[in-house]
Structure 1
Amino acid sequence: MPRTTLTSAQIVDAAVGLLDAEGLEGLNMRALGKQLGSAATAVYWHVGSKENLIALAADQVWHEIPLPDLAVVDWRTAATRLATDLHTMLTRHPWLVQAFGSLPLFGPGKARHDDHSLAIHEAAGFTGGQADQAAATVFTFVLGNALGPAAADSLARRLGRAGDDAAEAMRDSTAKAHEIAARFPRLRARLETAAAGHGAAPDNSFQFGLQTVLDGLEARLAAARP
């Protein structure tokens, strides 16, 4: 791609693809410029810095989340859809979960999501600070559930880069973890299940937990009514 045709939108699109494939640690401006057929300096000219590029990429993926129409569905259906689509987005782009801990990321995309989440919880009946607390409770639950897949994704990439020695070290570490877990009866009974994997959880754990959180919010609203 000639330098003269390079645009910020093209750079951000390419950065999202590279982040999805290589994670935060794999985002390299020189490699990105080569992928775009341009020099790294041209990439910097458009986006300013690597940190700013990550912020732009984050803002773009936040816009992938559809906002449920409160004129069409009730608040609980809307909350379930928004949380589920947020979880889907975070597991599709695990680097964003990594970025939360290292960069201040807040742009129009996240603001759009957060504002609609508040609207959903206000429609439920929460007011003032309680609407913020309800929205934050759901958000932190979703983010927590995305941490496991993000950690597993990061570990897999790191092992892939490090080669056979790292893979062997991981196998040894896993064997040691299983040996420790085998000393405890409930953990021992789960060693051969899918939930025993690194960063894994039982099937439908996210759906179970989300509905439990929403049950609690709904019960709180009911208890507050005269």
Structure 2
Amino acid sequence: MPRPAWRRCRRVLTGVCWRFSVRYLSAQITRTMSGFNGTSMSVLLFAVRRLVHRTRLVRRTLDVRCTGCQGLSKEAPMPGPDQHNPRGEADLIWLRPERVRRERPSLSRDEITRTAIDLADRDGLEAVSIRRIAAALGAGANSLYWYISSKDDLYELMADEVIGEIALPDPPSGDWRADLRAIAHNTQETFSRHRWFVLLGIQPGLGPKTRRYGQVAMACLDNLHLDLNTKINMLAALNNYLFGFAHRETAWADLQKRTGLTEQQWNDRLRGMIDHAAHQDTELAEHMTARLQLPGEEPFEFGLTCLLEGIAALTNRSPTPRPS
């Protein structure tokens, strides 16, 4: 018998046993209240213990029956969210082999991940849920736990898949500044297609596509002959800049979305605010005009150039001579 059917059967039989036990307990309470004494109280306590014992016995028996019949079922037991990691230890989805179900149609991590990304692109990250993904795939929500154990696993898969979309200079050209600039522009373009990506927060980043991204970026710095820590700090600075700029763009887009205005209406509203400010405070209007251009290509290029030139100046700087 399928597992959901056994669960319903167990609930029904437990409820029947409970109702009969409650009737027995009610009769004992009535007798006790009619002539309260020590003997009556003992009978009442015995009835309560009997009620609890009967309920536990029935549930234990049905659990055993359910487990036994699951072994005869064609469908293997469904792992719950914590069944992959029963001890609650640190666990990464990349360290667990992908499981394949025997029945048809079967799913895969790739299908689940792409469906989750499509939902996030269309309706935002808050719309991504196990239930909605399962509905889009025509599967049961519990069946997804065969492939992923938690929503953290899902976010890690989504992050790795998006990173895999970024075009990389592989092999590097030998010009580290040109290569890092190309990586930065391609990363920014990918983040713009998936505004929700920066909302995932920091992920472990051990997926195969994320690791390849880091390996190619690291290889772009080989000609500088720097130690590992310096290379990691350089790439971390670039990564922080990219995420910071993407956060600004995402926040700006969310602000417009909350107003319910179209892009044209939103721009008209901003121009109206600037025109209104210009009549009262010219300096304020000029600052507002400049700040409205921040989520754009020119400010991004300016900040990226400052970052790369600063790194170049730092790596080419000769050691400060010691005073004699």
Q: TM-score, normalised by structure 1?
A: 0.76
Aligned position for 1:31? 132
Structure holding more helix per residue: 1
Q: Does 1:131 align with 2:239?
A: no
| 1:46 aligned residue (144, 147, 167) | 147
| 2:308 aligned residue (197, 214, 217) | 214
Unaligned runs of 5+ in 2: 1-102
Post-superposition Cα deviations, 1:33-71, rounded to whole Å, max 9, x if no partner, equal 111111211223222222211111111111112221355
Aligned position for 1:91? 192
Structure 1 counterpart of 2:203, one-letter code: P
Partner SS state of residue 56, structure 1: helix
Q: Does 1:120 align with 2:220?
A: yes
Deviation at 1:225, TM superposition (A): 8.0
Deviation at 1:78, TM superposition (A): 0.8
Aligned position for 2:20? none
Q: Does 1:146 align with 2:238?
A: no
Distance between the aligned counterparts of 2:228 and 2:144, measured in 1?
43
Aligned position for 1:188? 285
Task: Report if the CA contact (8 A) 1:68-1:78 is conserved.
Answer: yes
Aligned position for 1:11? 112
The farther-off stretch of 141-150 and 114-123 is 114-123
Let me know the Cα RMSD of the aligned residues: 3.3
Distance between the aligned counterparts of 1:31 and 1:159, measured in 2?
26
Greater relative CO, 1 or 2 (CA 8 Å, sep 6+) = 1
Deviation at 1:79, TM superposition (A): 0.8
Q: From the CA coordinates, give the structure whose radius of gyration is larger.
A: 2
Task: Report if the CA contact (8 A) 1:19-1:27 is conserved.
Answer: yes
Task: Report if the CA contact (8 A) 1:3-1:42 is conserved.
Answer: no
Deviation at 1:185, TM superposition (A): 5.3
Post-superposition Cα deviations, 1:133-156, rounded to whole Å, max 9, x if no partner, equal 211111111111111122234445
Post-superposition Cα deviations, 1:10-40, rounded to whole Å, max 9, x if no partner, equal 1111111111122221112222211111121
| 1:20 aligned residue (121, 146, 163) | 121
Distance between the aligned counterparts of 1:118 and 1:56, measured in 2?
22
Distance between the aligned counterparts of 1:74 and 1:81, measured in 2?
11
Q: Report the identity percentage.
A: 26
Unaligned runs of 5+ in 1: 164-169
Pairs aligned (count):
210
Structure 2 counterpart of 1:48, one-letter code: S
| 1:106 aligned residue (199, 205, 215) | 205
Distance 1:23 1:3, change over 3 A: farther
Q: TM-score, normalised by structure 2?
A: 0.55
